[in-house]
Structure 1
């Protein structure tokens, strides 16, 4: 009801203003009311809930006016939402103190990808929620594994919470276990990521991922019971690599070192060095100290002063002790000096020892990464108490990686794992410090991977999706010849939807099998043309084409041509690839893959891209993952030219388990090898590819 009072007798006109309300939802008992002086008048508001549906709310106001002026307003609301209840989430860290972090809530029945995210500022949060079943999870900082000043990241969760009344959820990191991977060889974490996936009901689902910052030394989570509703999955992804720097003193290992960005690396090898404490690390602190060829230990300060001071004093290694929680990562100006940080607890312990007498430290440096581990461990349905992943070498796949770039290049690369729930690449490229060769050990059997490698302003290469078998060995090469157009599922695969055709054919795939090159060094040009029979349908500049085709099943020929300035890069100066295939009208909701045969080449070249004059060359044709089986390819051929395609030698390749193989017979004066390759499947789909100056000759 609404009432008004006044000093004079007025006739008030009453009306309600309601935004987006269904007609007839609210009604007033009278449109006018007379209010005597010093009296009151009453109008009753009635809501007809049959006029609205469940799970809606409306708000508005009732206005009373006299003589054209509004004299009173009353706010009203109607809701058919569920009765809200308080959900209180309390969180404690590993030491029982209130925990800060991010609290997330997923409700059964909500749309996919939708969830609530809240900041918990003082160990507790109270929210009003409609009734339902929720999944609650939280990310927050806890004590790490390297002393009271170290930091870890905890994933705390209550995967199934029923809210029918006011409800309290207690999350206690004291019950959490460390999630860790133990490798057969000594490693340090280069990247750690945790994925939390939860589904509830038919629609609500979310995958929430957190990549640990460098300040964190560990990750923790609580064990859970098996969920009764939906699906729960927690996965951890590690890139663990050979440590760049190891420092030990007897049984004491300073294993939480962090090389500072911009710092140099010690030459490969092992040696024992004396450590010297240089206080705040400024120039004045080195007065009277002999640190030449030794390890300078300082407390964290202004590195713009500390690094030059250590260089001037002749230090061989600078160790900076952090004065805050967690690891220290402070980008410094580029310097050849090796600069690494120690966490506060480990560093202060070392400073204490130095105050009592000389300390000699054993230092091991590995500036070029010889091995690493790309690992994924997933727990489905429930989170167990033991969260240690300790694979043997035989449980993993071995990948022998060969980088054919200029040693002066900076290579960014990564092996991305593919989420089984969102089918997306997870992770980001990081700077590689490998030399020519590196051995990678990879989680096998069930994990899908997709690799990427690039050199700034030179080349960008994407490998297609693949998985590995435990105990297998695979060879993967980057950046070498033979560069040519190559399509992979690392980009959009060629399809026909209805009568619309879409193709992307990157022109610069490198020496690795199943690599698509989106960029390459030098002045580049690429064009594409599509023919139906002999009639040109369309042509474009660039690596992509899109066009509407005539209805029905018809034969087509797709041609892409690339050109490159030979003065900037000597190989693959001209290529032409022609795919012949048949395509029919596809469903409007189900794109049909195009059966485009792809070609890979294997030849042993040196870092300058040159091969032996009698080298073996293998041609491996294949179909794209969504196309026909590669076993349907029935024939392949190779022609070779040693004069840029003026004359040709028809080869007779021998079919092997790896493809079709020939042996070169290069004349003594030949400098380059030009190739013309063909392959065809049982359905008549074929490819012919010509590569001028595919590689050089020694």
Structure 2
């Protein structure tokens, strides 16, 4: 749960966050300040505060420094403070004075920085990196979803010249979001962007590996847009789009993956059939579907491919979807 907008709230000392600490304590709509007692987890303190009607929780450990904590779920905002800041706030509350906090939050950021600052040779003494129009590449990105509020998994991989693998950097992105994304200019760093429609999905949508050698503005980009248009990866030859024409470099043989989903996620289809047309849907030829892939062998003179897919499940749900001029052939 994230803070949205600006709020001024009263802080209340909630002790160690136990159920006994919240008994008879008026925290309704207020910020409960919790110095976690021994054996009390953030989940327990949050549950106790929520049950007592608190609007916010600020938790800290009674030891110096930062610490990292997570909870399984939250219906009110939980903030983590350092031991020093928590002790300072508890000290103010201990004086008996009314303490009010101004809390500001942006639940969905209108921008994100995907930056990495590589250095060659010795580590520079100056670790200040300016981010402005001369050092970044800017792009408007739209994340589409079939249902409002769904959370996707946004993944960025970064490769230096000697790297063939990278540990992913993954963040949540709310589908329906339009935001500005920035990359820093680095002529020898490769960037690969992939988006999973949810946290359970194993197969993402991805773009080609890119390198940003010059600052500037990139064309707008759409992710998970329905109907998801056909695409190919760099491994099989990139697709090329000019206006509303998509040309595939996959050659005369194509294996098209077909994934059936409903509002809740992937489903097992009882029937999955596919047809192909080379005359804009005037005539159709059924193609073999095996293990979720349509095996298509294009005739030599074919220039443009239209696709039709029919799927149904055991509950009687059914979809018959046609994409005319799905992609062209070289």
Structure 2 CA distance for partners of 1:398 and 1:506, relative to 1, 3 Å: farther
- Cα distance change of structure 1 residues 478 and 470 upon mapping to structure 2, 3 Å threshold: same
String of CA shifts for 1:268-325, please: whole Å, max 9, x gaps: 2102111111111123213453322111101122334322221132211101112456
Separation (CA, whole Å) in 1 of partners of 2:255 and 2:179: 27
Any residues of structure 2 matched to 1:165-564 within 5 Å, and which?
264-266=1-3, 268-300=4-36, 301-324=40-63, 327-356=66-95, 357-405=97-145, 406-433=147-174, 435-446=176-187, 447-456=189-198, 460-468=204-212, 469-489=214-234, 492-493=235-236, 507=256, 519=259, 521=261, 523=269, 541=290, 543=293, 563-564=309-310
- 1:493 Cα deviation after fit: 2.8
In the superposition, the TM-score normalised over structure 1's length comes to 0.36
Unaligned segments of structure 2, at least 5 residues: 238-249, 263-268, 277-287
- Cα root mean square deviation, aligned: 3.8
Q: Residue 118 of structure 2: SS of its match in structure 1? A: strand
Distance 1:520 1:324, change over 3 A: farther
Change (3 A) 1:271 1:676: closer
1:365–1:503 CA distance, 2 compared to 1 (3 A): farther
What secondary structure does 1:285 align onto? helix
Contact 1:487 1:504 in 2 (8 A): no
Please say if residues 141 and 220 of structure 2, whose CA atoms lie closer than 8 Å, have aligned partners that are also in contact.
yes
Name the SS of the counterpart of 2:131 in structure 1: coil
CA separation of 1:361/1:434 partners in 2, compared to 1, >3 Å: closer, same or farther? Answer: farther
Is 1:368–1:435's contact at 8 Å kept on the other side of the alignment? no
Residue matched to 2:284? none
- Is the 1:369–1:435 Cα contact (8 Å) retained in structure 2? no
Distance 1:453 1:527, change over 3 A: farther
What is the alpha-carbon distance in structure 2 between the residues aligned to residue 365 and residue 423 of structure 1?
38
Q: Deviations over 1:521-580 (max 9, x none)?
A: 35466799xxxxxxxxxx8835598xxxxxxxxx89898967243896868x245xxxxx
- Looking at structure 1, the residues matched to 180 and 161 of structure 2 have their Cα atoms a distance apart, in angstroms, of 26
Q: Secondary structure at the match of 2:216?
A: coil
Q: How far 1:359 sits from its partner (Å)?
A: 2.1
Which range is displaced more, 556-565 or 332-341?
556-565
Cα distance in 2 for partners of 1:370, 1:440 equals 9
Greater strand share, structure number = 1
Change in CA separation of 1:479 and 1:307 when aligned onto 2, cut-off 3 Å: same
Counterpart-to-counterpart distance in 1, 2:112 and 2:255:
30
State the shift of 1:382 in Å: 2.0
- TM-score when normalising by structure 2: 0.71
- 8 Å contact kept, 2:256–2:294: no
In the alignment, structure 1 segments of 5+ residues that lack a partner are: 1-263, 495-500, 509-517, 529-538, 546-554, 576-673, 679-685, 688-698
May I ask how many residue pairs the two structures share in their alignment?
285
Structure 1 pair 385/505, CA: closer, same or farther in 2 (3 Å)? Answer: farther
Aligned to 1:69: none
Deviation at 1:475, TM superposition (A): 0.8
* Greater CA drift, 350-359 or 325-334: 325-334
Q: Please give the per-residue CA displacement for 1:613-671, whole angstroms capped at 9, x wherever unaligned.
A: xxxxxxxxxxxxxxxxxxxxxxxxxxxxxxxxxxxxxxxxxxxxxxxxxxxxxxxxxxx
Indicate the structure (1 or 2) with the bigger Cα radius of gyration. 1
Matches within 5 A, 1:153-164: none
Greater relative contact order, per chain length (Cα 8 Å cut-off, separation 6+): 2
CA contact (8 A) 2:191 2:211 kept: yes
Matches within 5 A, 1:578-597: none
Quick one: structure 1 residues 544 and 565, their matched pair in 2 at CA, closer, same or farther if it must change by over 3 Å? closer
Change (3 A) 1:562 1:423: farther
In the aligned structure 2, how far is the partner of 1:527 from the partner of 1:429?
A: 37
